[in-house]
Amino acid sequence: MSNTYIKVTEEAGKQFFSKQHKTPIVMLNLLRFKKVADYSDSPHLAPVKEISGSEAYRLYMRSVQPMLAKIGSQLIFSGTADQFLIGPMDEKWDLVLLVKHQKMADFLEFASDPEYLKIEGHRTAALADSRLLPIKKAP
């Protein structure tokens, strides 16, 4: 796999936020962890000893869940993933999450919260690759 995706690109962010979703939105997260977490971008968050990407992501989630609850958002599903039944056989994900936000503004508030930005480095340190797909209920 040649391309990896960890952060929102400027273009994707503009397109998403220009839509002004008013209904609940569920964010599908597909996550692949690094064998060893890389805190080179956030050395202030680095644990004393080396940890796995999976462990770094648990640290991230421990901090994120109360932030989500504060704005009325919630983790509605977390599970491990097997290989695709329909899809690329070489594409594997370690963890799948579904996070529900009552409206897009809640997601924006969460993603730009200074407290969130302080701990976001755990996510970056943890992930080798990811996908984030906003989903809204079909009409």
Along the chain (139 residues), what's the average pLDDT of each consecutive run of 10 residues?
A: 75 74 89 98 97 98 95 96 90 96 87 94 97 90
Q: What is the b/e burial string over 75-89, where b = at least 16 CB atoms within 10 angstroms of the residue's CB? A: eeeeeeeeeeeeeee
CATH architecture, domain defined by 21-136: 2-Layer Sandwich (3.30)
Q: What is the pLDDT of residue 23?
A: 85
pLDDT computed for residue 16 by the predictor: 73
3-state secondary structure of 17: helix
Instruction: Give dist(CA 4, CA 7) in Å, integer.
Output: 10
Nearest of 87, 90, 132 to residue 111 by alpha carbon? 132
Helix axes 104-112, 10-18, angle to 10 degrees: 140
pLDDT at 117: 95
Residue 46's identity, in one-letter code, is A
Which candidate, 53, 47, 52, places its Cα nearest to that of 33?
Answer: 53
Specify the length of the chain in residues: 139
